[in-house]
Amino acid sequence: MLFVRTILFSGCTLCLLAQSDTAQPDSSQAGAGGEYGGPAILSRGENPGSQSVSPLAFRPYIGVNAIYDYGLIPVRLTSTGGIPSTSLYGVEANLGAYTVRTWNRTTLALDYRGDFRHYPTNATWDGTDQFLSLILTHRPSRRVKVTVREQGGLYSRNFFISSTLGALDPNYLGIPQNDIYDDRVVFAGVSADTTYQMSARLSFNIGGEGSLVRRQSSALYGVTEAVARGDLQYRVSRHSTLGVDYRFTYFVYTRGFGSTAIQSVGINYSTQFSRQLQLSARIGGALVESSNLTEITLSPALAALLGESVAIQAAYTRTYAPDIQVRLIDKFQLSQLSLAYFNSVIPGNGVYFSSRNESGTISYSYSGVRYWNFGVDATYGRMAPLVQQIGSYTAYGGGVGVTRELGKGLHTVLRLDTRHYGVANSAIAAHTEYRATLGLTYSPGDIPLVLW
């Protein structure tokens, strides 16, 4: 039912947006009288580079691929107590569209992706991934701007990749990260912000959000998250903004006792070095308070009396953690370089509860060769639990992709991805996954198709 609703909503929205495919102006010049609009502010969920609307206002695509997946892990054990791993060949159909539509006071950006997989030799791994990202901004008056963001979907492979449009921060709406198992996950998040421009330099923002993650396996935890926030930002120069923010985050877990409350304060700095190069950073700290169930060892006297060597009791932990985000975008007409670093507390991944997550990503896309687009990315992450007595989770990986325009909207697509991860002191000491994709995609447009 969720998939059907997603398809219907996406179709209606895309039909509306398709009514206009004219080039839109760069919103970095969208201030009054053509004044520079300012760099992205991370505390408000903005991404560097995402404000610059592509001249391509609407681009759909549909395709079919041959795929090879190596290292699929289900949430179960083998007859000998080991963790099974499966490798399969299959076929995948995909479709989607990314688009932007601007009216007089309103802008709507939407990114939809969907795929359907079939493995002839093992149909139990058949599945679908669906993803929808939407941003709506409206200015009811000259000084007030309202922004609504939505992101949601479902997937069953932990190679899940976030928005093609790049307009939403995956950390902003509680999007699942660092999944260990290939299991069905349903997620949704929505946020709303109101920004008041008191003067040409000073602005205030208040907002809130809610998100949820649900996993199919009864062995994995889901999470519900709520956030309230506010900030003050001051334009110190034409191309730089400095400010402070406060954020309160609360999340609670399903299928078990546990919750976490986080109070975070941060300093924001954003600057535009040139028309193409933009840096946004948030440096702060957080007070993290968690409650959960923990296992304790009983004294010999109590163990003899009760006939049990361990017991379960409620536990409370209080700790301080960094809360850091840094993003750098170097964006040209035919290429884009993106770097990001995060160090913050996240809800976990279905196995881990509240955890300190440190991660970095780098990606590059180039369309400067006629008919071709080249993409490459690399990621690293380490997740250390705050309340559980288990080892840290570490993962790193990368991918390369090429699309070649064959003419009349037809493109050939090649993609290779890998991810290596492990859990310290665990049966999954080290595990590596690969995915290879080769196929054809139809997408009318004047430039080579970019799918990453």
Closest by CA position to 69, among listed 116, 119, 135, 20: 119
Q: Which pLDDT does position 413 carry in this prediction?
A: 92
Convert the pLDDT of each residue in 377-432 to its tens digit.
Answer: 999 999 998 888 788 999 999 999 999 999 888 999 999 999 998 888 776 668 89
Tell me if 449 is assigned to some domain: no
- Residue 452 counted as domain residue: no
447 assigned to some structural domain: no
Domain with 152 in it: 2-442
Region 69-87: what's the mean pLDDT? 84
| Better-scored residue on pLDDT, 419 or 256 | 419
**% pLDDT > 70, the chain:** 79
pLDDT at residue 304 is higher than 70: no
Q: How far is it, in rounded angstroms, from Cα 271 to Cα 34?
A: 18
State the Cα–Cα distance between residues 47 and 42, nearest whole angstrom.
Answer: 7
Say yes or no to pLDDT of 47 above 80: no
Region 362-386: mean pLDDT is 91
pLDDT tens readout for residues 193-208: 999 999 989 999 999 9
Distances (CA, A) of 161 to 86, 153, 175: 21, 12, 10
448 part of a folded domain: no
Residue 54 belongs to some domain of the structure: yes
Q: Which tokens in the block code for residue 7?
A: 């398809």
Domain annotation covers residue 432? yes
CATH number, domain containing residue 315: 2.40.160
- The pLDDT-based confidence of 28 (bands split at 50, 70, 90) is very low
Between 296 and 14, the higher pLDDT residue:
296
DSSP class per residue in 290-334? EEEEEEEEPPHHHHHHHS-SEEEEEEEEEEEEEEEEEEEEEE-SS
**Residue type, position 371, single letter:** Y
**DSSP result, 103-153:** -SSEEEEEEEEEEEEE-TT-GGG-EEEEEEEEEEEE-SSSSEEEEEEEEEE
Does residue 374 register a pLDDT over 80? yes
Render 413-432 in DSSP notation, one character per residue: EEEEEEEEEEETTSS-S-EE
Give per-residue pLDDT as tens, 235-250: 999 889 999 999 999 9
State how many domains the chain has.
Answer: 1
Question: What percentage of residues in the chain have a pLDDT greater than 90?
Answer: 47
Instruction: Report, as an integer, the average pLDDT of 299-303.
Output: 70
In this prediction, residues 266-283 reach a mean pLDDT of 92
Picking from 214, 168, 223, 215, the residue whose alpha carbon sits closest to that of residue 193 is: 168
C-alpha to C-alpha distance for 118 and 417, rounded to whole angstroms:
19
Beta-strand (E) ranges in 347-442? 355-366, 372-385, 393-407, 410-423, 431-442
Q: Which range has the top average pLDDT, 140-149, 156-165, 167-176?
A: 140-149
Would residue 195 count as lying in a domain? Answer: yes
* pLDDT per position as a tens digit, 332-348: 878 889 999 999 999 98
Q: Which residues pair with 120 in a beta bridge?
A: none
The pLDDT of residue 384: 92
How confident is the model over 95-121, as pLDDT tens digits?
Answer: 988 888 888 899 888 888 899 999 999
- The pLDDT score that the predictor gives to residue 163 is 42
Is pLDDT of 443 > 80?
A: yes
CB 282 within 8 A of CB 323: yes
pLDDT band at residue 288 under the 50/70/90 scheme? very high
Which pLDDT value is given to residue 317? 86
- Cα dihedral value 333, 336, 342, 345, nearest 10: 70
Q: 130-145, pLDDT tens digit by residue? A: 988 889 999 999 999 9
pLDDT at 171 over 70: no
In a domain, 368, yes or no: yes
SS3 content of the chain, % helix, strand, coil (to 5): 10, 60, 35
